[in-house]
Structure formats: structure tokens, C-alpha cells
């Protein structure tokens, strides 16, 4: 994605919005953009799926591209076309869908470019890097009639679908509150001096719409999560999954119409390193008649209820109702009723992969052209990402924020509203029209 390659989308690419409808038995041609941790997880799923061809792969790091190509060939799959510039993929008329597993700050712009060229997009979580991007992504998906699934894969896990259905049925009475728990151990990242980018890595393209910074190893290869330019801390990394489940279980609308206020406090505690985002964050969201609290703890923390393992991470949700409570994590749900907390029902995860059902749901929508069939359509994924952004904004502002549902903005707080979006660094700017 070097600057000289940033050309307007070709007329051929822009005409692809009406490319032929795929039949139930047609192979879906997929391009992978971003070949780091989650990108390789996507590659694993696509390799194991029938009816899918990985026809192109792209990353700013040529080493990552070569490794992905090697995995394809080793699995007996045809070699994919290789790129460092994602826009060249969007010009390929035989590509139907794009898997977007870039760092957070590239999700929105990459997805918009792909959708303008007629591609459907499976986009990793969080949907956006800031709330203004959320709105842009929803608008672009609807304008171009594209399928845009966000990778909050809990929405496709059978035991979680069953658990939410139980909440809807009144198994614990009226659900009035939810707690999100993200106790995921994170070690200190230490300190690193700025240096020269590894050979072949396009650092300018890696930063893309984010501000230009000198290359630093800590801002690359996963640790980009802990810098505000490119990531959203662990609330927007692991935590967005549990935030999405909390919204789901509470039945909150996607437009934030019932949100009243947000308060978040914490900090980067114990460690003295180069990380910018907090490793400890406690957030409280007040909605009309409902409450959502969320805790992020990257240091050693306890096991909550029956979730997690005695020596591992504790990640999940607790829902509170008038007649009991429910614990829900990636392995199981447990329903407790009455004053004595009697365990009345439980269910366990039976899937081999938490991602495969979610990608399968996306591929089905690519063929049916029905965005309402997506389990995590962009409107859903963006709303969950927004709550993570809102908590981060409250933390950075250092105060409670009051939400104006009509204006979709913070009441009387210019500083907080300024953090709702940012100007992209040229030439990585929004296309016009979207």
C-alpha cells in the first residue's frame, strides 16, 4: 500500500456492486487482508471449509504473506495471488468477499474501500476505531448493499444463542443489569527505542490513516493494541466480545437511544512501560431502566463464579434478573434461581471452533444477499464497539459523560465530542462519495 499506488478505484471495480448472484452451490472467492494472529485464524477456517477458495492474500509484511502462502500450499489448496496493497485486491473482479483482519485503525477504511468495489466483508472486531467510523461503515454497507459481518463470533455460538433465548423467556425474571468481565493476564511490554522498520515492511501503509510515527517494535505485531493511534486497549480487544454479549442479553437497541451516561476510571497500574492504554478499567453505563458494568483487569485477578479456570483468565458475563442470575462464558452457561441461588439449568459449548459458525453465517449471507440474516451485521457490531469507545473517552476525559440520544453526542462536552472521531492522515482519506 505505498503512496504511489493510491489511485481512484477503477470504473470496473465500481461497477461490481451488481456482480452476479451466487448460487447455493457456487464457490465463494475470498481475499484475506491482514495475516497476523486473527488473519491466520481466518485462513485456517477458510482452508477447512468446502465451497471456499482463498484467491488472494495481502499484508504490508512480505514475511507474513509468504507464511500464509506456504500454509495454503501445504494444505493442498491452490496458491493465492499475493499483494501488499489491499486496493489491488478490490480491483479483482473474481473476488466476492474480503476477510479484513488488519489492526483496528484500518477496519473502517479498508471495509469501505472493499464495499465500494462490490465486495462483501467479514471484518474483525472491534468494528471501528472510533464512533465516527462506526456510522460511516453502516452508511456505506447500506448504500452499496453489501454484507458486512463483524467478528464478534459469540453471536453464532449455539450455547450462547440458547442462553440469550432463555433470558428472553424470563428464566431469571426481568433482566435489569449485566456485567462484563475481562480478566485477561497481560504482561508488561517494557520499553523499546525507535528503530528502522524490518526489511520489506511498508510502515507508512501499516499506519495508514493513523498519525505518522517513527517505527517502533512495540507499535507493531500485536502490541499496536496498546497505543491509542492504532488500538483501543483490552476493552476494545478482548472486551468487545463481552460488551457485545452484554448488549445482546440486555436487549439494548443499536442506536444508543436508551443510553444516559458513561463513567470509566482506572489506569496503567503497577507497570512503568511504553503502553498508553489502561491495564485496569472499570466502566459503568446507565441506560433507561438498565445498567451495564464492565471490568478490565490485565493484572492477576480472581475467578468470578464458575467462569474461567482456577489458574487461567476469567472472561465472560453475568446477567442479573428479578428472580435470579446467569453466568455465561465461552464454555458454558449456568442459570441460578431464587434466594438460595439454586442451579436450575446449564448448557455447554459443543463447537470445534468459535469462528467457523460465524464465517459460515457470513458466507450464507453472501449468497442470499440478506443482511438481516447476519448474526453480527455492522449495525450490531458497531454499536458494541461504540460502548467500548465511549468508556475509553470517559477514561481519557477523566469524568462522567452524559449522552444526548437525539444528537448522538455528549451533552455540553466539546473535549469528549472531539474524541468521537479524527481526521485521517492523507492520502488515506475517506472516498467521496462513500
Give me the DSSP letters along 214-264. ---GGGSTTGGGGSTTT--TTTTTTHHHHHHHHHHHHT--TT-TTEEEEEE
pLDDT exceeds 60 at position 16 = no
**CA 308/CA 304 separation, integer angstroms:** 8
The reply to whether 186 and 101 lie within a common domain is no
At 240 the pLDDT is 98
Q: Are 143 and 174 contained in the same domain? A: no
- Does residue 424 lie in a domain region? no
Residue 309 has what pLDDT?
A: 76
- Classify residue 269: in a domain, yes or no: yes
Report the interhelical angle of 62-74 vs 37-48 (nearest 10°). 20
* Element holding 421 (H helix, E strand): none
188 domain residue, yes or no: yes
Residue 12, pLDDT score: 37
Q: Is residue 4's pLDDT more than 50?
A: no
Q: Do 130 and 177 reside in the same domain of the chain?
A: no
In this prediction, residue 244 carries a pLDDT of 98
Give CA–CA dist 421/288, Å, rounded.
Answer: 26
Q: Are residues 391 and 371 in the same domain?
A: no
CB 292 within 8 A of CB 177: yes
**Do residue 361 and residue 388 come from a single domain?**
no
**In a shared domain, residues 77 and 199:** no
Q: Are residues 20 and 130 in the same domain?
A: yes
What is the reported pLDDT for 9?
A: 43
Lowest mean pLDDT among 13-22, 128-137, 362-371, 388-397: 13-22
Residue 127 has pLDDT above 60, yes or no: yes
Query: Is residue 384 within 8 Å of residue 240, measured between CB atoms?
Result: yes
Task: Give the residue from 110, 67, 24 showing the smallest Cα distance to 366.
Answer: 24
**137 neighbors 114 (Cβ within 8 angstroms):** no
The CATH code of the domain that includes 294 is 3.30.360.10
**Same domain for 167 and 112?**
no
What is the overall mean pLDDT for the chain?
94
The three-class DSSP label of residue 362 is helix
Dist. CA 117–CA 89, nearest whole Å: 10
Residue 15 has a pLDDT of 38
pLDDT mean over 3-21:
41
What's residue 14's pLDDT? 40
* Pairwise CA distance, residues 142 & 122, whole Å: 15
Structural domain that includes position 253: 158-350+384-411
For the chain, what is the domain count?
A: 2
Asked whether residue 296 is domain-assigned, the answer is yes
Can you give the CATH number for the domain in which 39 is found?
A: 3.40.50.720
Q: How far is CA 308 from CA 304, 314, 332, in A?
A: 8, 4, 10
Residues 189 and 219 both lie in one domain:
yes
- At 1, list the grid cell: 500500500
Q: Which 3-state string (H, E, C) describes 166-216? A: HHHHCECECEEEEEEEEECCCCCCCCCCCCCCCCCCCHHHHHCCCCCCCCC
The cell numbers describing 33, all together, are: 487482508
% of the chain exceeding 90 in pLDDT? 92
Tell me: the pLDDT tens digits for 272-317? 999 999 999 999 999 999 999 999 999 999 999 999 877 789 999 9
58-92 burial: b if 16+ Cβ within 10 Å, else e: bbbbeebbeebbebbeeeebeebbebbbbbbbbbb
What's residue 24's pLDDT? 61
pLDDT at 312: 83
Whether 97 and 110 share a structural domain? yes
pLDDT, tens digit (0-9, with 9 covering 90-100), for 100-123:
999 999 999 999 999 999 999 999
Read off the pLDDT of residues 49-77 as tens digits, 9 standing for 90 and up: 999 999 999 999 999 999 999 999 999 99
pLDDT at 20: 54
Q: For 140-193, what is each residue's pLDDT tens digit?
A: 999 999 999 999 999 999 999 999 999 999 999 999 999 999 999 999 999 999
First to last CA, the chain: 20
Residues 95, 113, single domain; the answer is yes
Would 376 be classed as within a structural domain?
A: yes
User: Do the beta carbons of residue 181 and residue 316 sit within 8 Å?
Assistant: yes
Q: Any idea how long the chain is?
A: 434
**189-214 pLDDT, tens digit each:** 999 999 999 999 999 999 999 999 99
Question: Is omega for the bond preceding 427 within 30 degrees of 0, making it cis?
Answer: yes
User: pLDDT (tens digit, 9 = 90+) per residue, 309-346?
Assistant: 777 899 999 999 999 999 999 999 999 999 999 999 99
Asked whether residue 63 falls in the same domain as residue 132, the answer is yes
Q: Give the pLDDT confidence score for residue 308 in this predicted structure.
A: 83
Q: How far is CA 282 from CA 204, 235, 262, 279, 394, in A?
A: 34, 10, 11, 10, 11
Question: Domain for residue 135, yes or no?
Answer: yes
> Does 184 reside within a domain?
yes
Task: For residue 153, give Cα distances in angstroms to 95, 242, 325, 379, 380.
Answer: 23, 11, 23, 15, 12
The answer to whether residues 82 and 57 touch, using CB atoms and an 8 Å cutoff, is yes
- The answer to whether residue 234 sits within a structural domain is yes
Amino acid at each position: 500500500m505505498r503512496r504511489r499506488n493510491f489511485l481512484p478505484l477503477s470504473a470496473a471495480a465500481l461497477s461490481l456492486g451488481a456482480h452476479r448472484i451466487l448460487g447455493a452451490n457456487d464457490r465463494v472467492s475470498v481475499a484475506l487482508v491482514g495475516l497476523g494472529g486473527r488473519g491466520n485464524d481466518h485462513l485456517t477456517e477458510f482452508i477447512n471449509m468446502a465451497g471456499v477458495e482463498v484467491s488472494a492474500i495481502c499484508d504490508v509484511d512480505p514475511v507474513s504473506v509468504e507464511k500464509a502462502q506456504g500454509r495454503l500450499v501445504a494444505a493442498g489448496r491452490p496458491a493465492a495471488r499475493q499483494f501488499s496493497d489491499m486496493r489491488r485486491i478490490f480491483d479483482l473482479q473474481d473476488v466476492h468477499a474480503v476477510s479484513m483482519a488488519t489492526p483496528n485503525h484500518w477496519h473502517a477504511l479498508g471495509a469501505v474501500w472493499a464495499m465500494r468495489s462490490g465486495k462483501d466483508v467479514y471484518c474483525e472486531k472491534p468494528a471501528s476505531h472510533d464512533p465516527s467510523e462506526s456510522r460511516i461503515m453502516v452508511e456505506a454497507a447500506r448504500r452499496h448493499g453489501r454484507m458486512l459481518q463483524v467478528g464478534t463470533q459469540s453471536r453464532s455460538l449455539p450455547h450462547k444463542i440458547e442462553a440469550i433465548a432463555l433470558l428472553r423467556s424470563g428464566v431469571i425474571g426481568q433482566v435489569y443489569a449485566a456485567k462484563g468481565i475481562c480478566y485477561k493476564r497481560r504482561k508488561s511490554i517494557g520499553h523499546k527505542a525507535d528503530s528502522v522498520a524490518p526489511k520489506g515492511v511498508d510502515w507508512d501503509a501499516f499506519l495508514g490513516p493513523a498519525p505518522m510515527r517513527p517505527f517502533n517494535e512495540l507499535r507493531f505485531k500485536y502490541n499496536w493494541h496498546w497505543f491509542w493511534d492504532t488500538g483501543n486497549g483490552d476493552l476494545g480487544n478482548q472486551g468487545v466480545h463481552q460488551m457485545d454479549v452484554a448488549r445482546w442479553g440486555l436487549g439494548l437497541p443499536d442506536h444508543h437511544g436508551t443510553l444516559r451516561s458513561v463513567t470509566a476510571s482506572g489506569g496503567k497500574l503497577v507497570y512503568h512501560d511504553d503502553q498508553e492504554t489502561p491495564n485496569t478499567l472499570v466502566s459503568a453505563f446507565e441506560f433507561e431502566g438498565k445498567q451495564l458494568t464492565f471490568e478490565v483487569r490485565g493484572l492477576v485477578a480472581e475467578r468470578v463464579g464458575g467462569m474461567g479456570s482456577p489458574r487461567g483468565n476469567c472472561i465472560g458475563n453475568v446477567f442479573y434478573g428479578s428472580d435470579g442470575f446467569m453466568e455465561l462464558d465461552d464454555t458454558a452457561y449456568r442459570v441460578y434461581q431464587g434466594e438460595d441461588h439454586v442451579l436450575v439449568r446449564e448448557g455447554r459449548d459443543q463447537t470445534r471452533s468459535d469462528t467457523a459458525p460465524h464465517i459460515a453465517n457470513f458466507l450464507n449471507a453472501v449468497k442470499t444477499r440478506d443482511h438481516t440474516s447476519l448474526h453480527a451485521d455492522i449495525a450490531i457490531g458497531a454499536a458494541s464497539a461504540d460502548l467500548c469507545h465511549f468508556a475509553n473517552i470517559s477514561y481519557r476525559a477523566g469524568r462522567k459523560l452524559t449522552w444526548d440520544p437525539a444528537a448522538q453526542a455528549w451533552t455540553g462536552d466539546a473535549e469528549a465530542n472531539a474524541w468521537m472521531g479524527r481526521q485521517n492522515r492523507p492520502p488515506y482519506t475517506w472516498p467521496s462519495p462513500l
